[in-house]
Amino acid sequence: MKKQNIILSILLILFVSPMIFTSCSKNLDVNQDPNNPTDVPENLILPALLSNFSYEVNGGYPTRIAALWTKHLAGGIAGNHEGNYLITAQDVNNFWTNYSYPDVMNNAFVLKNKATANGNPNYSAIAKIILAWNLSMTTDVFGDIPYTDAFKGTEGVFKAKYDTQESIYTSIQALLDEAITEAASTNNVLKVGAEDFVYQGDMKKWTALAHTLKARFHLRLSNAPGKTASAQAKLALDEIAKGAITLATQPTFKYYAKTGAENPWFQYAIDGKWALTTRPSQYYINKLLASNDPRIAFQARKVVAGTGVDPANVGKYIGVTNEAPSNSIGNYSAIGSFYSTNDAALYWLVYPEVEFIKAEAEFLVANKTVNATVTAAYNKAVKASMDFYGIAATDADTYLNNNALKANANLAYAQIMDQKYIANFLMFEAYNDFRRTGLPALPINNEMYPGQVKLDQPPRINQIPVRFPYPSNELLYNSANVPSDLSGDPTKSIIVPVWWNGK
């Protein structure tokens, strides 16, 4: 996968700085490789950690696949592919073996330990937040994963045991609690500054993000074995009350209009580094058009004139399906510029999710009934999604009036989750919400639905996958620890729910 220039620049700093700062004071140690420093300070580890988490994980493979499986996007190419549920043990190797574990979690582990030893709790706090977040995304797609043994290579542990997903979530919450405490410390030898590409060392913002994540993860377990939805919802509301991100403090990562440093969605779907065929799905485009949703202008682009483009399609929103289109791919809408220009910021988590956490949690605390509190929370959440894009209040009010919360409990829950699904466009969280609630009620990819043209390519399996298969590297080199209750056949293993799915 192509790295960003910004990451390469950071790595060059890591390689060069030891020589720069020691050459004047002593001769070069011929037994030490100057290009592979063994002791790197916290302020040089942090930017690389944040860059890798943003590009490789939050804007990387798990999020891209989730967007296909939740029908935010589709892959307009022939044959079986991820869009119609072809995913293999080899396909997930890079995410597990190259990105999630070494580039993010191991470096977060190193940073937190170094920061603790050096008396820099603020750096440790950020490292723990990223570690907890990355752990959640990894366990959410695989289920049981290595954690307690995962970073013990220096101790001779090369075949890590797997921790249960339930214990992983306990560890995630503990990491976030520790991070909140450490973020409040003013006793730091080294102050976090501009090398923090997300919040520039503002620890109050990191604290608010940690509380937001804790709320998200409490709600994640709403249907987990041994848990009750109302109790988990109460825990989520309690965390939000302690602090949460706002429209002004959403965690974003900046990208640049320079080759290799562009926004991940631009690289993946717009400029051809990866593909030009990954575009908003026909299902999703038709859904927004049917309700006159003003957010469509930000989430998708209108078709523009060009070679092979039917003039009748120009100026329209047209989605693709997970098969080779009958026309040139230019006849279909691309991902909206808001998300996919070369210098667009990548949103790690959007403020509207906070309001939808409140809306769903209030509904669950009320034992899945609609009252004035639930209705007010729903209205605020929908408006927050409109405000996120800067949509005029009059347009937002018109939309909300046409989509007022129903009194019927089942319909109301479907509305809350449907609106959250739209607000979380291109967010990994939409996949988690779908799995734990079954909402919105998505058709399987390439299944017939009203307004869809007849398709020739059948889906790979007869349901939306609910997990990733374990990577082939683990099956080959750590097979004794890989959970034995899952089939080695991905078409069978990817339909087995993870622990918190509660099914």
Q: Measured on CA atoms in the order 406, 412, 414, 420, is the torsion positive or negative? A: positive
CATH code of domain 7-13+41-227+461-503: 1.25.40.390
Q: Which tokens in the block code for residue 414?
A: 């479907």
Residues 453-457: contacts with CB within 8 Å, 24+ apart?
453/321, 455/321, 455/323, 456/323, 457/78, 457/79, 457/80, 457/84, 457/322, 457/323, 457/324
**CA nearest 99: which of 140, 63, 53?**
53
- What CA–CA distance (Å, rounded) separates 444 from 438? 12
Mean pLDDT in residue range 463-482: 95
The number of CA neighbours under 13 Å toward the Cβ of 140 is 26
378 pLDDT more than 90: yes
pLDDT band at 6 (very low <50, low <70, confident <90, very high): very low
**pLDDT in the model for residue 39:** 77
13 pLDDT more than 60: no
* Domain residue ranges of the chain, discontinuous segments joined by +: 7-13+41-227+461-503, 264-346, 351-423
**pLDDT in the model for residue 155:** 79
Q: Could you tell me the pTM of the whole model?
A: 0.91
457 pLDDT more than 60: no
Range with the poorest average pLDDT among 42-46, 50-54, 273-277, 313-317: 273-277
Mean pLDDT in residue range 463-470: 96
286 pLDDT more than 90: yes
**CA nearest 423: which of 497, 358, 503?**
358
Q: Are 266 and 346 in contact (CB under 8 A)?
A: no
**pLDDT in the model for residue 182:** 98
Per the model's pLDDT, the better-predicted residue between 447 and 8 turns out to be: 447
Type and span of the H or E element at 20: helix 5-22
Mean pLDDT in residue range 271-287: 93
State the average pLDDT for the chain: 90
pLDDT band at 458 (very low <50, low <70, confident <90, very high): low
227 pLDDT more than 90: yes
Q: pLDDT tens, 340-349? A: 999 999 999 9
pLDDT band at 80 (very low <50, low <70, confident <90, very high): confident
20 pLDDT more than 60: no
**pLDDT in the model for residue 143:** 98
The crossing angle, in degrees rounded to 10, of helices 203-220 and 165-183 is: 160
pLDDT band at 444 (very low <50, low <70, confident <90, very high): confident
**pLDDT in the model for residue 24:** 30
Mean pLDDT in residue range 327-350: 97
- What CA–CA distance (Å, rounded) separates 79 from 319? 18
Alpha helices in 372-478, H assignment, sequence order: 372-389, 393-402, 409-423, 429-437, 472-477
29 pLDDT more than 60: no
Per the model's pLDDT, the better-predicted residue between 29 and 491 turns out to be: 491
**pLDDT in the model for residue 38:** 62
Q: pLDDT tens, 396-440? A: 999 999 999 999 999 999 999 999 999 999 999 999 999 999 999
Mean pLDDT in residue range 154-169: 92
Mean pLDDT in residue range 18-37: 38
**pLDDT in the model for residue 487:** 84
Q: pLDDT tens, 172-187? A: 999 999 999 999 999 9
Query: Is the bond into 440 cis (omega within 30 degrees of 0)?
Result: yes
**pLDDT in the model for residue 19:** 24
